[in-house]
């Protein structure tokens, strides 16, 4: 078991072991193959952003460090939604390079006009 939880894979492994689940059970819950989950847990690869919403549901929390600035918060929210930079940039009507700068350097220079979900 990892001493410190540094990666998403570390978080998944500890949660799986705490729950007493087999890798194949967690892989099935997350919608990935057994070898994919094993690679994440061994930190041989990182989960693509599209799997992060499922991983967050499995963990019951977001595994990221505290945001240092607004750009971190923006990136974390985008990843929690399972969106790539290109997908999110299209959603908010900006160039992916602009979004990347916002995530690295902090806040956008204009308010974001995000679409609202309707139930």
Q: What is the pTM of this model?
A: 0.73
Conformational region of residue 21, where left means phi above 0, alpha means psi within -120 to 50, and beta covers everything else: beta
Give me the pLDDT at residue 112, please.
57
Give me the pLDDT at residue 113, please.
59
Residue with tokens 């399972």: 82
- Domains in the chain, CATH or no CATH each: 8-59 (1.10.260.40), 70-105 (no CATH)
Per-residue pLDDT of the chain (119 residues), as tens digits, is 667 888 999 999 999 999 999 999 999 999 999 999 999 999 999 999 999 999 999 999 988 777 788 888 888 889 989 999 999 999 989 999 989 999 988 765 555 555 555 54
Please answer whether residues 74 and 104 qualify as being in contact, where contact means their C-beta atoms are separated by less than 8 angstroms: no
Token pair for 67 = 């945001």
Give me the pLDDT at residue 44, please.
96
Residue 41 CB: number of other CB atoms within 10 A? 21
Token pair for 69 = 């600035």
């Amino acid at each position: 078991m990892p001493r410190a939880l540094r990666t998403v894979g570390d978080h998944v492994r500890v949660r799986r072991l705490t729950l007493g689940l087999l890798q194949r059970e967690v892989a099935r819950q997350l919608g990935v193959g057994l070898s994919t989950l094993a690679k994440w847990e061994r930190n041989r690869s990182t989960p693509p952003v599209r799997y992060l919403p499922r991983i967050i549901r499995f963990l019951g929390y977001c595994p990221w460090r505290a945001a240092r600035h607004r750009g971190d918060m923006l990136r974390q929210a985008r990843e929690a939604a399972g969106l790539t930079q290109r997908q999110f940039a299209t959603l908010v009507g900006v160039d992916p390079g602009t979004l990347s700068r916002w995530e690295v350097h902090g806040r956008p220079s204009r308010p974001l006009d995000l679409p609202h979900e309707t139930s």
